[in-house]
Amino acid sequence: MSAGAIEAIKGAILLERRGWAFYSKVATTTKSESVREVFSSMAEEEKRHEEALSLHYSSLVRDGSLAAVTTLGQASDISGEILSRKVISEIDAAGYEAAAISAAMAMEASAEKYYRERASEAGSGIEGDLFNWLADWEHGHLEMLAQMDRALMEKIWFENSFWPVI
């Protein structure tokens, strides 16, 4: 593996650490129990990504190659929880949690882009598979957050009667 692969893994670990810190902070500062559960789940996933990447980094430095991607695991499904009426009803569409969702969307989009670029540079093989796996996982987070954001937009439109006059 090249020095570029090592730097790519280091960058990925940093992205996951930042994601964990952000989601953990939102989870500890929100007043909504449902929102806390959602962001805590996302923080745990970011931590698992970091742990997986750390194992791959160690393998890369120690052995000169990455471990098999099959050791990475699967994303947990929290989409049903996230889209529940209770969660949406507990979020003020113009408040802290909604702003956190918007910031998280930008963070997840940036992470997905980073991973797609690293996968493209790596090509086929374990390194490419690793970054594609991470990109797919981050894309799932982004989709989930986008669904929440759309639901919040509908909520604010409904609550404020933002309907066209016919």
Long-range pairs, 98-101, Cβ under 8 A, ≥24: 98/149, 98/152, 100/22, 100/26, 100/30, 100/39, 101/145, 101/148, 101/149, 101/152
What pLDDT, on a 0 to 100 scale, did the predictor assign at position 133? 87
Tens digit of each residue's pLDDT (9 = 90 or more) over 13-31: 999 999 999 999 999 998 8
Residue 151 has pLDDT above 80, yes or no: yes
Among residues 119, 116, 109, the alpha carbon closest in space to that of 140 is found at 109
Residue 86 has pLDDT above 80, yes or no: no
State both tokens at 58. 């160690």
How far apart are the C-alpha atoms of 82 and 38, rounded to whole Å?
6
How far apart are the C-alpha atoms of 48 and 31, rounded to whole Å?
25
Q: How far is CA 139 from the centre of its chain?
A: 7
Q: How far is CA 109 from the centre of its chain?
A: 8
Question: In terms of pLDDT, which residue wins out, 68 or 130?
Answer: 130
Q: Are 144 and 78 in contact (CB under 8 A)?
A: yes
Torsion over CA: 152, 158, 161, 166 (sign): positive
